[in-house]
A and B are shown apart, each in its own frame.
Chain A
Amino acid sequence: MESQEEKPIIYTMENKPIVTCAGDQNLFTSLYTSLAQQLPREPMEWRRTYGRAPKMIHLEANFVQFKEELLPKESNKALLTFPFLHIYWTDCCDTEMYKSSVKEDMMRWQNTLRTHGSADWVIIVVETSDTKKKNKPNILPRSSIVDKIRSDFCNKQNDRCVVLSDPLKDSSRSLESWNSLLLKLRTLLLMSFTKNLGRFEDDMRTLREKRTQPGWSFCEYFMVQEELAFVFEMLQQFEDALVQYDELDALFTQYVLNFGAGDTANWLGSFCAPVRNWSGLLLRRPIDMEKRDSIQRGEASLLDLRSYLFSRQCTLLIFLQRPWEVTQRALELLHNCVQELCLLEVSVVDGALDCWVFLSCLEVLHRIEGCCDQAQIAANCSHTVGLWAYATDKLKSLGVLCGLVTKKEPTSEDLNKTVDLLAGLGDERPETVNSLQSPYKKLKEALSSVEAFERHYLELSHAAMEMYQAIGRMRSARLVGKSLAEFYMRKGDPERAETFLQEALKSYVSEGWSLPVTHTRRQIAECQKLLGRTEDYLQTCALLAGDVNLTTEERKHFCQEILSFAGKSGDQSHKVSLSMNVFTQLTRLQFHPATLLVHTGGVLQVELTLKSLMPISVHIQQLAASIHFDVDHGGTLGRSKGVKRQTNQGTVEFNLGNPSAGPTSFTGNSRVLEMDEIQDRSPSDNSLNATGLVCKNAHLLIRRHGNSSPSEMAKCVSPPAVAMKEGDQMLKVQDVTLEPGENSIIFTAPSGQPGSYTLRQLCATVGGIQFVQSHVYPSVRYEVYSQEPQLTVEPLSEPLLAGLPQVVKFTLLTGHYTVKKGDALQLSNTDTMPILPSTSCTARISSPAAELVGESVLSIQSSEKVTSISLPPTPPYHTLDFQLEVLCIIPSGLEQPANERLTNGEIRHRPRSYSHPDTPMTAIDQRMSIDCPWSIYSTLLTLTFYIPFKTKHSLLSAGNRKYIQVCVQNMSDMNFTLAEVKLTEKQHASLELQSFNTKTHQLLCSKHSVFCLWEVMWKDDLPSCLQCVFSATFSPTNQDTSAFKPFHYQFQLERVTTLYSVRAAISPPASEQHCRCGLLCGLEVSITRLTEPSEGEITEDSKTDTDGLKTTKLMYEVADSNSNWAVCGKSSGMVLMPMKANATHRVQIEVMPLFAGHLPFPKIRVLKYLPHSAAAAMQPDPDSCIENDSLSLLDKTLDDQADTASIRSRGSVHSVGSSDQQQKGVAMPRLEPFSPGQVFNHSRTQQVLVLPATDDHIMEVNAT
């Protein structure tokens, strides 16, 4: 209403769709307020063409008075000024009046509309009850007017005429009619939109399709599509509006790209014009009419178009509450514009684009700040930080361009450039003239002076850095920092620069980016040089000189820096210490000998392999290695506790990471398990308590693998200043030249004192510079031991056999003792183990490394008591070994004379034989006593020999004839030949032993036996005791007879004479011819005394009977162990034997065979019966004593047959006593068996035929 007289100014926020009002203006004015308020109250669903989603839309309208000029002409495409709906207002209720004036007016209105092709109209008839009542109460009903209007104008569209009843009254009817009116209006408006916009879009598309035609202009098209965007914006459809701009953007972009591809459009020519204005984006106005006009005129530059397009997009995005998209798009736009200008080959003044970008960045940031609160901005740093960084970047390049980044003032040329650049900015926009912080002012100020530039640049840089840090983009922050450092360097402020560079370097090193590391380090070197921080500078130089990322020339330069410093610093008292790792690396340590163990005074060489990282060969005045010495307590016998640590003995490989921070320093090499064997020994007896493996570097391995290990980082970023520790032992080599790559340097390690030596530090001195490696890891240690001389004697071959010459090996470890000429070993001779003289006895001398050093013949002198072996001169820590033949004489079995004394006064220990658990052979320990020249004490050694034979003897009888059998069993693993087998009796010369052994040589194989037999022949009387000696010679089978060695076996036989002979006969029952199973048979046992009793026998066990006849009490016993016989009646009994030759006693016993067949006779035993009186007087002789259990067994049988007449006749009350009494063995009758030869049983193996029982229904077959 207000603006209806003027042409509407396009300010889209205030724009509303235009609705014209014709007819009764007063009526409309009265209703306008409520209409304008009510219309947008309810949303309407807007259904769209082309499948676009329907939208709910609040409709507003700008009601203007109808004028013909408002109707668009055919050519006019403006949509904003397009009236979407035409309303005719009337409250006429008088037919007359209608006919006279209103209808005519309506007709005119309709005609005007029709001529302009507008079909969007509606007639509103306002009806008030007042007017009705007041004026014409009797006229036609009002409906008739409405009907008339409808019939006159709306022939087909009845809905084009709406009635509004009582609009100013507050009644339900009024409300209802209002609602239907509003609904109608909205519906019609939307219909109009759909129709008109649809038509517009169709036209627009048609226009777009013509874009390949020559005359087509993007700017024209731009205006058309923007019109559509405006309408959408007007309808608050910002999304749709944005789409229009995005489409335009894309279309333009495509054209630029096509241009790049060679497809040039004519209209692009205007955009290729040189850039003359770089005033940046302008986002403070909703529409930048200035730029819009220039686009419309086709005079816009590329930047103008882009700026305008972006400002529109920005406005819409802010309406849509998407400020962060603005920042993102802004960054894209800025990048894109730079690219496009390049693509279109638009000529731009140097720095103009930087200005434009800088201003634009700040403008966007200001715009965003204007629409968001501080907290929101802080929370969305990630969106804005890119713009900050970009602005910083651009400002810096501007500063560089205009000569503002120097220590001096800018030159006049620089000033000219600045003036040119400022000229392109034009005047400040009116919007920001009053603002103190506008981008325009900032840029102008920054370019005005060096100081102002610095202030602005630092402000921006810090802002960007802080933002990056706040959102955790540390790498980006450091990159800004680096750029700042470069600025400081240009400004001649290396101190500040270094802080930033170090920070950046730390991050590159920790993440293993070698190229940035090198680059940053080079910048640091420059800083340090400027700052005069010599040590740091040299350290950095060393790092750079070894950096493979640099060219050889550069590396040489840095190396030369070090060398020239080293050369000119004359002051030797103060040396600069640098870390060695960057200069040269210890890659390998090799020990000779490789055991890492030497005796005191021994030679141990250490070969260091150093990998020089320098590009040129470097002369080193001195290379020193410090060695820490630990006295090794209680470990003089180094060899016994030699814990072997490294698997590859004597060589230690060092896997150092590349200090110039290649990825290798990171991937965790040197993360090898370092395993050590540990043995826990008891301190008292050195016995093993526990053994195990321990990982020495577990603390390194188990540590969580984070991004970086701080220690490693510290080492690489700025190697710590290391000082050489004094006081330890030093290995020194003077004047070494280290060539690039591997170098080998040999030291001789000290070995003066026993203990362990640990390699601690390395130090290379080049002039006034020391390169120090503060610790060598993994730690390298070698041990020096001192050893007492040690003599061991051991058999050359196991086992040592007694009786044969055996070779034993003497080993002498000289230890720290030097064997001089004339030193001799004194061996005390023993009878049982003589040392066999040998002609060629050679001693071998070998070095600790087991290499043969020399050989010499030993001279051995034997005196009566002592064998003296003179030793050849032997250096310390060598091994002397020789072999001697000894013979251990086999003891013949009988006792030897009492102890003798050895030459040295010690009691000679008789070799005692004993059985060894490991071998069936009998072992003898032979002690040796050796006097050594290095000790006042004798060395006592024991050798164990084994007797290869086991000898047994037995006495065999045949009636009165006697035989002696000797069994020799070979227990060893060797085969022997036995010869000269002989048995002699020592005491009785009259005796003759007749040999039955025919062979002179007898083979005695391993684990086999040889039996020898002799008959004893005597003339007068057989002695009851025989002292026999069995002798033989033996030698291993495959040796000649000269090697035969004697073997003796002594034994004693007692009670040899046969006293009694026992005969048994079994007689069948009287009626039978043969014994029959189950029938009692008679067993007659006749015992005959064969000889007169000897003297001893009479006194010992005879007894004078009452009738004066001498008798001996014997006990017989019949027992059948095989259950072939059942003994009926008494099975044992006492027999009184007259003490004269051929006295015979017969005993009848009844037995019954239990089986048929040839049955062996039951066993008959004859025992001596000693009455209790005699037993009590008897000496307890262990040889003849009957063991208790056998006695009790016999007594038991006695008990069973308690009715034995003879026992009863003895009248002994004790004889049938309880076993308890018998166990005590006091004054009890005893039984004593005869010696094996004393009783001869004639019928020992006799058999008797037993027939089966006669009436056997059951056939019993006994197969045995």
Chain B
Amino acid sequence: MAVCIAVIAKENYPLFIRSVPTQNELKFHYTVHTSLDVVEEKISAVGKSLGDQRELYLGLLYPTEDYKVYGYVTNSKVKFVIVVDSSNTSLRDNEIRSMFRKLHNSFTDVMCNPFYNPGDPIQSKAFNGIVSGMMVQTG
């Protein structure tokens, strides 16, 4: 499914970023970082029109030749970014949505952990497990 999953803090630094090990990790970092441009654009566009009744799922942020980058933003402005291989065409929008929802739920669990200091990189095993479940190990 996904080749890279990232959680980005409100201040735009990565809380969690993991990519398929077989591929160039750096490239994903650049891709996810650049996608923040579109995330911000979308957030501000939505903020103008709809106020608080906004959809968390931002949809396809931008396609590249090799990847499709999807975005999701929580109410606290924490961003989730999922990068999917372009060749993986079987993935539907709904599946991406449900991936984000799962990710959000797991993230909420992480935040609920009293030993987790908000703003720190996420090191939760459970969260990692969820992410692993969403990523293709074969690449």
Contact = CB atoms under 8 A, between A and B. Distances in A.
Nearest to B119: A667
Contacts of B40: 472
Interface string B15-28: 10000000001100
A508 B121 contact: no
A511 B37 contact: no
A516 B25 CA distance: 10
Contact of A479 (B11, B34, B119): B34
Contact of A474 (B30, B37, B90): B37
Contacts of B113: none
Contacts of A667: 13, 119-120
B14 interface: yes
A424 interface: no
B120 to A, nearest CB: 7
B119 A513 contact: no
B13 A473 contact: no
Contact of A516 (B26, B38, B63, B119): B26
Contact of A513 (B14, B62, B120): B14
A476 B29 contact: no
A235 to B, nearest CB: 33
Interface in B63-94: 63-65, 86-87, 89-90
Which of B34, B87, B119, B121 is packed against the most chain A CB atoms within 10 Å?
Answer: B34
A412 interface: no
Which of B9, B25, B89 is packed against the most chain A CB atoms within 10 Å?
Answer: B89
Contacts of A386: 62
A473 B38 contact: yes
A513 B33 contact: yes
A978 B65 CA distance: 111
A332 B12 contact: no
B48 to A, nearest CB: 14
A390 B11 CA distance: 29
A790 interface: no
Nearest to A254: B89
Contacts of B46: none
Interface in B23-57: 25-26, 29-30, 33-34, 36-38, 40-41
Given A475-B37, A511-B33, A666 B26 contact: no
Given A335-B86, A339-B86, A339-B87, A512 B63 contact: no
Contacts of B13: 511-513, 663, 666-667
A512 B14 contact: yes
B63 A331 contact: yes
A343 interface: yes
Contacts of A508: 33
A386 B15 CA distance: 28
Nearest to A473: B37
Contact of B11 (A339, A472, A707): A707
Which of B38, B63, B86 is packed against the most chain A CB atoms within 10 Å?
Answer: B63
Contacts of A471: 41
Contacts of B86: 335, 339
A1028 interface: no
A472 B42 CA distance: 12
Nearest to B85: A339
Contacts of B9: 663
A663 B38 contact: no
Interface residues on B, range: 20 to 34
Contacts of B89: 257, 260, 339
Interface string A469-490: 0011111100100000000000
Given A331-B63, A339-B86, A519 B33 contact: no
Contacts of A519: 26
A124 to B, nearest CB: 55
Nearest to A332: B63
Nearest to A705: B11
A1037 interface: no
A36 interface: no
Interface residues on A, range: 20 to 34
Given A338-B65, A667-B119, A707-B11, A516 B87 contact: no
Interface in B85-126: 86-87, 89-90, 119-121
Contact of B30 (A257, A332, A479, A663): A479
A257 to B, nearest CB: 5
A642 B33 CA distance: 52
A342 B89 CA distance: 13
B37 A476 contact: yes
Interface in A326-381: 331-332, 334-335, 338-339, 342-343
Contacts of B65: 334-335, 338-339, 390
B83 to A, nearest CB: 14
A382 interface: yes
A738 B14 CA distance: 32
Interface string A851-879: 00000000000000000000000000000
A707 B120 contact: no
A515 interface: yes
Nearest to A477: B37
Nearest to A662: B121
Contacts of A473: 37-38, 41
Contacts of B30: 479, 516
Which of A331, A335, A468, A474 is packed against the most chain B CB atoms within 10 Å?
Answer: A335
Interface in A449-475: 468, 471-475
Nearest to B17: A515
Contacts of B62: 386
B29 A707 contact: no
Interface in A704-746: 705, 707
A130 to B, nearest CB: 67
A1071 B25 CA distance: 136
A382 B62 CA distance: 12
A329 to B, nearest CB: 11
Nearest to A474: B37
B113 to A, nearest CB: 17
A382 B44 CA distance: 14
A78 B25 CA distance: 55
A475 B34 contact: yes
A804 to B, nearest CB: 63
A472 B41 contact: yes
A977 B62 CA distance: 102
Interface string A195-237: 0000000000000000000000000000000000000000000
Contacts of A332: 63
A516 B29 contact: yes
Which of B9, B30, B87, B90 is packed against the most chain A CB atoms within 10 Å?
Answer: B30
Contacts of B90: 257
Contacts of B37: 468, 472-476
A655 to B, nearest CB: 13
Contact of A342 (B36, B38, B87): B87
Given A338-B65, A508-B33, A666-B13, A343 B87 contact: yes
A511 B63 contact: no
Contacts of B87: 260, 339, 342-343
Contacts of A335: 63-65, 86
Interface in A638-688: 663, 666-668
A475 B26 contact: no
11 contacts: A339-B65, A339-B89, A471-B41, A472-B41, A474-B37, A479-B30, A508-B33, A511-B11, A515-B26, A515-B29, A663-B120
Interface of A: 257, 260, 331-332, 334-335, 338-339, 342-343, 382, 386, 390, 468, 471-476, 479, 508, 511-513, 515-516, 519, 663, 666-668, 705, 707
Interface of B: 9, 11-15, 25-26, 29-30, 33-34, 36-38, 40-41, 62-65, 86-87, 89-90, 119-121
Given A513-B33, A667-B13, 9 more contacts: A257-B89, A334-B65, A475-B33, A475-B34, A475-B37, A512-B12, A663-B14, A666-B13, A667-B120
Shortest Cβ-Cβ A-B pairs, 6 listed = A512-B13, A473-B37, A667-B119, A515-B29, A511-B12, A663-B13
